[in-house]
């Protein structure tokens, strides 16, 4: 539908931003719910982020998503932070109030958990120890989400051990650092294995990742936060071994829900046709 002068505005700030799927996703929802609003890509150079951040407020935007490389700068600039943004140490969603104050939220943990909660494949995945591979920014959101969901223990393995130790210090005793490559004994009773390393994208030495699979119990669920390729080499190998798998696209779709609701006033749903439309943008099918 066309915009009126009263249209609500939001967007995504990134550098680069051209690859972002968010404008398409929010655009599909705006059409679906017949909302007088727009969500636009905002290519913002890191040197001009603070300026752009204040510009959004001056322009009357309802808010924005923030993506690479701006998540930490956004964290520092917000007037208020939600508890989960504080815990994760980064911001991916800005909500601008009528008073012009900016609240920084982080919806990545929410997206990760909702993706599993809404997938029948994932039944029981939170009811035992989880193995998280990788200790970067994405891992921090995943660990926060798992602990908030009541997972009793998170075993954290990362090539650079110091990074997993830092996360364990931040999150406390339910997080246990394990070696990389992961000792098989640390996999024995795992209910959920999550790859948050960029090895999902392909390239790099995949062996330490793939070596986890034979040590997992048959009923363990395996997931990856990378969604392009939709079925990563890790998921492909897990599926070949008979594991239930959940791909990472749902995390992207679900993390967008809280922002859309805050800016446009309607709680959007992740439906099969929305997922199919985004998959087709990625050049993927759901097979």
**Bind-site residues for shikimate:** 20-22, 67, 92, 108, 227, 255
198 binds ligand ATR (CB under 6 A): yes
Q: Going edge to edge, which strands form the sheet with 130-133?
A: 175-178, 154-157, 130-133, 192-195, 221-224, 244-246
Residues of the binding site for NADP(+): 134-138, 158-163, 225, 248
3-state secondary structure at position 169: helix
Tell me how far, at minimum, the Cβ of 108 lies from ligand ATR, in Å: 9
Q: Distance from CA of residue 220 to its chain's centroid?
A: 21
Non-local CB neighbours of 169 within 8 Å, separated by 6+ positions: none
197 binds ligand ATR (CB under 6 A): yes
158 binds ligand ATR (CB under 6 A): yes
163 binds ligand ATR (CB under 6 A): yes
Active site residue 228: no
Tell me how far, at minimum, the Cβ of 135 lies from ligand ATR, in Å: 5
Q: Which of residues 207-236 bind ligand ATR (CB under 6 A)?
A: none
Q: Which of residues 120-139 bind ligand ATR (CB under 6 A)?
A: 134-139
Candidates 75, 182, 183; CA nearest to 137 is 75
Q: Which of residues 26-65 bind ligand ATR (CB under 6 A)?
A: none
Strand partners, 105: 93
Under a CB-based contact definition with an 8 Å cutoff, are residues 254 and 227 in contact? Answer: no
66 binds ligand ATR (CB under 6 A): no
Residues touching ligand ATR: how many (CB under 6 A)? 16
3-state secondary structure at position 245: strand
196 binds ligand ATR (CB under 6 A): yes
Candidates 104, 102, 110, 101; CA nearest to 89 is 104
Give the footprint of ligand ATR on this chain (CB under 6 A): 134-139, 158-160, 163, 196-199, 204-205
Which sequence positions are flagged as catalytic? 71
């Amino acid at each position: 539908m066309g915009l009126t002068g009263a249209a609500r505005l939001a967007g995504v700030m990134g550098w680069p931003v051209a690859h972002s799927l968010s404008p398409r996703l929010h655009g599909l929802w705006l059409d679906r719910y017949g909302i007088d609003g727009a969500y636009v890509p905002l290519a913002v150079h890191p040197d001009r982020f603070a300026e752009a951040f204040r510009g959004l407020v001056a322009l009357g935007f309802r808010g924005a998503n923030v993506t690479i490389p701006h998540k930490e700068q956004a964290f520092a600039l917000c007037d208020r932070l939600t508890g989960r943004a504080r815990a994760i140490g980064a911001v991916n969603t800005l909500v601008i109030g009528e008073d012009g104050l900016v609240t920084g939220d982080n919806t990545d943990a929410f997206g990760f958990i909702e993706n599993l909660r809404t997938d029948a494949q994932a039944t029981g995945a939170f009811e035992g120890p989880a193995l998280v591979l990788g200790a970067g920014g994405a891992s921090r959101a995943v660990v926060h989400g798992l602990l908030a969901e009541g997972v009793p223990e998170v075993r954290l393995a990362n090539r650079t051990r110091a990074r997993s130790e830092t996360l364990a210090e931040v999150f406390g005793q339910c997080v246990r650092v394990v070696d990389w490559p992961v000792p098989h004994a640390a996999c024995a009773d795992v209910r959920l294995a999550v790859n948050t390393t960029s090895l999902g994208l392909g390239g790099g030495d995949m062996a330490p990742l793939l070596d986890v699979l034979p040590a997992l119990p048959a009923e363990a669920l395996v997931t990856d936060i990378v969604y392009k390729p939709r079925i990563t080499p890790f998921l492909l190998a897990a599926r070949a071994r008979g594991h239930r798998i959940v791909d990472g696209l749902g995390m992207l779709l679900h993390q967008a829900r809280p922002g859309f609701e805050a800016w446009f006033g309607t709680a959007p749903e992740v439906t099969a046709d929305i997922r199919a439309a985004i998959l087709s943008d990625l050049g993927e099918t759901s097979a």
